[in-house]
């Protein structure tokens, strides 16, 4: 009897070991990796009070591990996934709130922290003391690393049991430019949503884009808007779809500012509401 027990125990341990080796290269965990940016308590409260299922996941990207905020919609069918690329401020509570709003609209939203593992304590965005340090760290990210991280996250979310396999990308400010760039690197995206970000300026990059690109720009943001005509020309020449809309009177960052209770510029709120309406209308047609 003792010998039989030892054999059974050994077989059980072997099975557990094999299962562990076959497990996906990521794990789910709790806790927050978001930067509590000053003035974003309203966004934190909204995200924290959400009735939807939220979790932090760790996604393997080569030798790196990327922490990402994942939110599921409450729907009865498999959903399209959206990779959300954060602003120059990193993964903030507003990004979490935005991801939750996308899930509320019926989509799986995942927001990776591109600073994962690069914080002062080996963490990510939340480890940094202020916006300036975050911006400097983001500005120093290697382009190839960004692409690899985004591809790993897109691969991960597309294979979730609740996902239908379709993946779109959306980005804001810095993230808007990265979303446009990601469209040049991932041929099977179903759409790219660029919020006040610049487009690629090389024909060979534009030529690789397969997904339609939708732009959202504030009228009072000439630094970015001055680049739109060239992007339009390059996309048109390459036979690619680029549909930019400029919301007059709105400033850079209007999607965040437009829902900030402290925002005093009505044009930001108007632009944010109109952009959301347009965005959700496009998503329904994907």
* DSSP strand pairing (54-61 vs 64-71): antiparallel
User: What is the CA angle 184-110-44, rounded to 5?
Assistant: 130
What is the per-residue pLDDT for 171? 98
* DSSP strand pairing (26-29 vs 79-85): unpaired
**pTM score of the predicted model:** 0.89
Of 2 and 98, more confident = 98
Which of these, 57, 51, 54, 71, lies nearest to 25 by C-alpha position?
57
Mean pLDDT along residues 105-117:
98
What is the per-residue pLDDT for 90? 96
Read off the pLDDT of residues 65-82 as tens digits, 9 standing for 90 and up. Answer: 999 999 999 999 999 999
With H, G, I as helix, E, B as strand and everything else as coil, classify residue 28: strand
Pure H helices in the chain: 2-22, 41-48, 93-104, 131-139, 143-158, 174-185, 203-206, 222-225, 228-237, 254-257, 266-284
Mean pLDDT along residues 120-126:
93
Read off the pLDDT of residues 3-43 as tens digits, 9 standing for 90 and up. Answer: 333 333 333 333 333 333 333 344 344 456 887 777 899 99
127-136, 218-227, 266-275: least confident range = 127-136
- CA dist 233 → 30, 200, 242, 278 (Å): 46, 12, 10, 23
Distance CA 264, CA 20 (A): 54
Read off the pLDDT of residues 48-60 as tens digits, 9 standing for 90 and up. Answer: 999 999 999 999 9
What is the per-residue pLDDT for 33? 82
Mean pLDDT along residues 271-277:
98
Read off the pLDDT of residues 138-187 as tens digits, 9 standing for 90 and up. Answer: 999 999 999 999 999 999 999 999 999 999 999 999 999 999 999 999 99
Which of these, 139, 123, 121, lies nearest to 131 by C-alpha position?
139
């Amino acid at each position: 009897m003792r010998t039989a027990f030892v054999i059974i125990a050994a077989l059980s341990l072997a099975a557990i070991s094999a299962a562990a080796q076959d497990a996906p290269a990521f794990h789910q965990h709790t806790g927050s990796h978001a930067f509590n940016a000053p003035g974003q308590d309203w966004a934190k409260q909204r995200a924290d009070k959400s009735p939807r299922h939220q979790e932090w996941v760790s996604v393997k990207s080569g030798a790196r591990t990327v922490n990402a905020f994942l939110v599921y919609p409450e729907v009865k069918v498999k959903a399209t996934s959206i990779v959300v690329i954060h602003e120059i401020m990193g993964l903030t509570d507003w990004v979490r709130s935005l991801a939750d709003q996308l899930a509320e609209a019926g989509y799986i939203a995942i927001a990776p922290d591109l600073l994962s593992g690069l914080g002062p304590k080996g963490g990510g965005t939340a480890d940094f003391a202020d916006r300036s340090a975050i911006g400097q760290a983001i500005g120093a990210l290697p382009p190839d690393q960004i692409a690899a991280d985004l591809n790993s996250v897109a691969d991960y979310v597309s294979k979730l049991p609740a996902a239908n396999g379709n993946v779109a990308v959306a980005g804001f400010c810095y993230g808007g430019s990265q979303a446009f760039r990601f469209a040049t690197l991932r041929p099977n995206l179903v759409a790219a949503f660029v919020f006040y970000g610049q487009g690629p300026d090389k024909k060979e990059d534009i030529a690789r884009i397969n997904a339609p690109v939708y732009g959202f720009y504030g009228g009072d943001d000439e630094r970015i808007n001055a680049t739109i005509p060239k992007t339009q020309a390059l996309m048109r020449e390459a036979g690619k779809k680029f549909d930019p809309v400029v919301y007059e009177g709105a400033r850079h960052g209007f999607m965040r500012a437009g829902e900030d209770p402290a925002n005093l510029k009505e044009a930001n709120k108007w632009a944010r509401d109109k952009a959301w309406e347009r965005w959700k209308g496009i998503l329904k047609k994907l």
